[in-house]
């Protein structure tokens, strides 16, 4: 009788994957028994970029939350219905199961490699650590308290949830250590690196730009620490669009941009631009408008749909042709975002070079040129009274926040974070929404059902497992 072993492997938290394993006589002795570390990192990079940027509303509804897009036939997600499609679980699971778990295993393999040059090993471990910090920060910014110190442990499938502020503090320490490990004179992850193709100098700029982002995220709750982090990072950040942290997709499956998958391959028309975004772009003759969106069918006019209601794809502007390119890069952190952060740092009194206006102008210009516009287009746009830093409406948060919201069009997860952090622009919940605009995602029901005690403690600590509970940095 053939022996069958049933092996159940925890897939991060509680989802399990059970496989029937034939007896050892049926194993292929020529098959590889160890996955290369860089292959694990590559997969983590791909899933991370896909998860934070996909327009699939089963995973990432944040284009609806920031009202860049409105729905057509299925408006539930734009009305902030989360549990019906288990959106929170489908955002949570890939980051733990496919990103952090793969990075964790990759780190173990690199550490155990006895023949790898020490400098190369340090660079690879530093890059993995930067990716881990990035992924953890996304989870904290989305949910608040999460499993952290006891996570990624197959021997503990019921991990406690750690305090979000404490996690953030640890991430900043880890990021500093990673920055100190990089040595641009040696190679790194090599051609398996889907973001920088092994360019260690660019990894160092990415790491410092992430430090700048994390520092500014703390500005309203710990100004002193934010100032220290920002001033240390600022001289070493991304300085051009050529250095953007991004994944370059391919034209073939399964490595196409997720926008192409939803906008073209699906054969459906689920999205239109929201009037919330299109109207102000029309008012300022924003050169990105015909790139972000298509004119209404059969016309040269642009029209936005109403957030939170069913809208006609025929009578409104749908996402632009540029978004239908299967090779459109997926952004993680851009030069435009860096310049907006530096503009904010100046306004907060941090000692970084340049003026707020100069950084603001550089940020807007970087966004326009990133999307194929020219520096002349940007200069014309910045001369408009509603856009120019000295004459645009509102205080510095409103000026920077509004232009940053426009620039983060293809980065929905970060756009949602920055909207919550800067409270600009002033978005109003749709009339049909079941709640206020979410300030966090509630925990997946798998946590409530299977990790009940730890879930209950986390929910209580967050002030309730509801969308109106705030992440620790969201104080204003």
CB 189 within 8 A of CB 127: yes
pLDDT band at 46 (very low <50, low <70, confident <90, very high): very high
- Tallying the residues shown for the chain, one arrives at 476
Hey, which residues does 319 pair with through a beta bridge? 293
pLDDT tens digits along 157-210: 999 999 999 999 999 999 999 999 999 999 999 999 999 999 999 999 999 999
pLDDT band at 15 (very low <50, low <70, confident <90, very high): very low
pLDDT score of 8: 33
**CA distances for 421 relative to 102, 215, 246, angstroms:** 30, 12, 23
pLDDT score of 196: 98
Q: Cα(378)–Cα(253) distance, rounded to whole angstroms?
A: 35
pLDDT score of 100: 98
Comparing CA positions, the residue from 288, 297, 326, 276 lying closest to residue 78 is 276
Helix (H) or strand (E) holding 165: helix 164-181
pLDDT score of 253: 86
Q: Cα(45)–Cα(8) distance, rounded to whole angstroms?
A: 26
Q: Cα(137)–Cα(142) distance, rounded to whole angstroms?
A: 8
Mean pLDDT for 10-23 is 37
DSSP state for residue 66 in the 8-state scheme: T
Q: Cα(189)–Cα(130) distance, rounded to whole angstroms?
A: 13
Q: Cα(342)–Cα(459) distance, rounded to whole angstroms?
A: 35
349: left (phi > 0), else alpha (psi -120 to 50), else beta? Answer: left
In order of start, what are the domains of the chain with their CATH numbers? 37-236+435-462 (1.25.40.390), 258-324 (no CATH)
Backbone torsions φ then ψ of 8, nearest 5 degrees: -110, 115
Sign of CA dihedral 279, 282, 286, 287: positive
Whole-number percent of the chain with pLDDT over 70: 93
Q: Cα(390)–Cα(379) distance, rounded to whole angstroms?
A: 15
Hey, which residues does 367 pair with through a beta bridge? none
Q: Cα(17)–Cα(218) distance, rounded to whole angstroms?
A: 38
Cβ-based burial of 19 (10 A; exposed 0-12, middle 13-18, buried ≥19): exposed
Asked if residue 12 has pLDDT above 70, the reply is no
pLDDT tens digits along 323-356: 999 999 999 999 999 999 999 999 999 999 999 9
pLDDT score of 476: 84
DSSP string over 103-156: HHHHHHHHHH-TTS-HHHHHHHHHHHHHHHHHHHHHHHHHHSSEE-TT-S-TT-
Helix (H) or strand (E) holding 42: helix 37-53
Map residue 10 onto helix, strand or coil.
Answer: strand
* Helix axis angle, 412-422 to 37-53, nearest 10°: 60
Q: Cα(102)–Cα(135) distance, rounded to whole angstroms?
A: 12
Angle at 275 between CA 362 and CA 476, to 5 degrees: 60
DSSP state for residue 305 in the 8-state scheme: B
Q: Cα(31)–Cα(157) distance, rounded to whole angstroms?
A: 30
423: left (phi > 0), else alpha (psi -120 to 50), else beta? Answer: left
Q: How many CB atoms within 10 Å of residue 150?
A: 15
pLDDT score of 131: 98
Mean pLDDT for 366-395 is 98
Q: Cα(361)–Cα(368) distance, rounded to whole angstroms?
A: 11
Sign of CA dihedral 368, 369, 374, 380: positive
pLDDT tens digits along 72-90: 999 999 999 999 999 999 9
What integer best gives the mean pLDDT of the chain? 93
**CA distances for 286 relative to 290, 365, 366, 379, 386, angstroms:** 9, 12, 14, 11, 11
CB 203 within 8 A of CB 211: no
Q: Cα(388)–Cα(286) distance, rounded to whole angstroms?
A: 13
List all residues 6 or more positions away from 383 whose beta carbon is below 8 Å from its beta carbon: none
């Amino acid at each position: 009788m053939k022996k069958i072993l049933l092996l159940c492997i925890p897939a991060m938290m509680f989802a399990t994957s059970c496989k029937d394993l034939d007896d050892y006589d049926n194993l292929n002795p020529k098959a590889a028994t160890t996955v290369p570390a860089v292959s694990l990192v590559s997969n983590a990079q791909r899933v991370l970029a896909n998860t934070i940027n996909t327009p699939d509303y089963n995973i990432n509804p944040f284009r609806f939350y920031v009202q860049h897009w409105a729905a057509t036939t299925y408006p539930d997600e734009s009305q902030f219905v989360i549990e019906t499609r288990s959106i929170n679980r489908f955002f949570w699971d890939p980051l733990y199961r496919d990103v952090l778990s793969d990075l964790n295993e990759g780190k173990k393999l690199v550490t155990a490699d006895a023949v790898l040059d020490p400098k190369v090993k340090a660079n690879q471990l530093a890059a993995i650590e930067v990716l881990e910090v990035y992924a953890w920060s996304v989870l904290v910014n989305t949910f608040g308290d999460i499993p952290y110190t006891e996570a990624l442990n197959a021997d503990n499938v019921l991990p406690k949830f750690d305090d979000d502020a404490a996690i953030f503090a640890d991430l900043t320490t880890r990021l500093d250590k990673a920055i100190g490990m990089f040595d641009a004179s040696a190679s790194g992850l090599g051609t398996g690196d889907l973001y920088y193709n092994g360019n260690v100098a660019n990894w160092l700029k990415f790491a410092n730009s992430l430090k700048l982002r994390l520092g500014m995220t703390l500005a309203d709750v710990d100004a002193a620490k934010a100032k220290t982090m920002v001033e240390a990072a600022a001289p070493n950040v991304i300085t051009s669009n050529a250095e953007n942290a991004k994944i370059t997709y391919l034209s073939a499956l399964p490595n196409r941009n997720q926008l192409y998958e939803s906008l073209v391959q699906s054969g459906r028309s689920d999205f239109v631009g929201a009037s919330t975004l299109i109207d102000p772009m029309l008012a300022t003759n924003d050169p990105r408008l015909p790139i972000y969106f298509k004119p209404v069918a059969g016309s040269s006019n642009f029209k936005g749909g109403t957030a939170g209601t069913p809208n006609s794809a025929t009578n409104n502007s749908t996402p632009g042709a540029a978004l239908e390119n299967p090779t459109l890069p997926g952004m993680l952190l851009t030069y435009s975002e860096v310049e907006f952060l530096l503009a904010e740092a100046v306004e907060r009194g941090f000692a970084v070079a340049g003026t707020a206006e100069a950084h603001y102008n550089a940020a807007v210009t970087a966004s326009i040129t990133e999307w194929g516009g020219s520096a002349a287009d940007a200069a014309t746009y910045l001369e408009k009274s509603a856009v120019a830093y000295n004459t645009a409406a509102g205080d510095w948060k409103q000026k920077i926040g509004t232009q940053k919201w426009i620039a983060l069009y293809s980065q929905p997860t970060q756009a949602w974070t920055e909207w919550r952090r800067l409270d600009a622009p002033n978005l109003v919940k749709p009339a049909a929404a079941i709640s206020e605009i979410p300030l966090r995602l509630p925990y997946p029901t798998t946590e409530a059902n299977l990790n009940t005690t730890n879930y209950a403690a986390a929910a209580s600590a967050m002030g309730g497992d509801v969308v109106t509970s705030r992440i620790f940095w969201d104080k204003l």
